[in-house]
Structure formats: C-alpha cells, structure tokens
C-alpha cells in the first residue's frame, strides 16, 4: 500500500505543522473513520513537546482525509491539532 499526498494536502500539512512521515504513519496505523464525500479519515496522536504559534504543547494530533485508489491511498487534506 502506497500513501500519496495531493498538492493541497502537502500545502495544508506544512501550513499546519505536520510532517510527511506523520501523515504516512497516520494512514498506515491510525484510527480509521468514515468522513464526508465518501472519504476515509485517519487519526493518530504524536508526542510533540514543542512550541506552536507561541504556546507550548505536549502532543499533536494528525487527521488525514483520503480516498482509496486501488490498494493505494491519496491524501486529500491534513488537519493538525495541538494539545
């Protein structure tokens, strides 16, 4: 199974502080859930222990929304939450 990132997903991932490795791990091993428009969402928590937009956070959560193409996944967008 390959995980490919749409250019929109790459832009949102970088803008929101995620990494390609975190997105790939999330799709491969994260919690899977149904999403709008026939997409599948994947969610994983990661240790962060850093600063984001001037505040310190211990963890971050990656949500990747994807569509399946054969045995591969195309990630459409990425959301990153800090806590």
Mean pLDDT in each 10-residue stretch from start to end of the chain (83 residues)?
A: 97 97 98 97 98 97 97 98 98
CB 64 within 8 A of CB 9: yes
- Which pLDDT belongs to residue 22? 98
- Which pLDDT belongs to residue 70? 95
Whole-angstrom Cα distance, residue 9 to residue 54?
Answer: 24
Q: Tokens 């956070």 identify what position?
A: 57
CA-CA distances (angstroms) from residue 15 to 9, 32, 73, 78?
10, 23, 21, 10
- Which pLDDT belongs to residue 19? 97
Q: Is 8 helix (H, G, I), strand (E, B) or coil?
A: helix
């Amino acid at each position: 199974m390959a995980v490919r990132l749409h250019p929109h997903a790459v832009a949102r991932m970088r803008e929101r502080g995620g990494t390609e490795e975190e997105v790939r791990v999330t799709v491969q091993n994260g919690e899977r859930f149904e999403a709008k428009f026939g997409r599948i969402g994947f969610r994983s928590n990661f240790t962060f222990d850093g600063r984001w937009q001037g505040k310190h956070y211990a963890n971050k959560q990656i949500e990747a929304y994807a569509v399946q193409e054969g045995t591969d996944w195309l990630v459409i967008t990425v959301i990153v939450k800090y806590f």
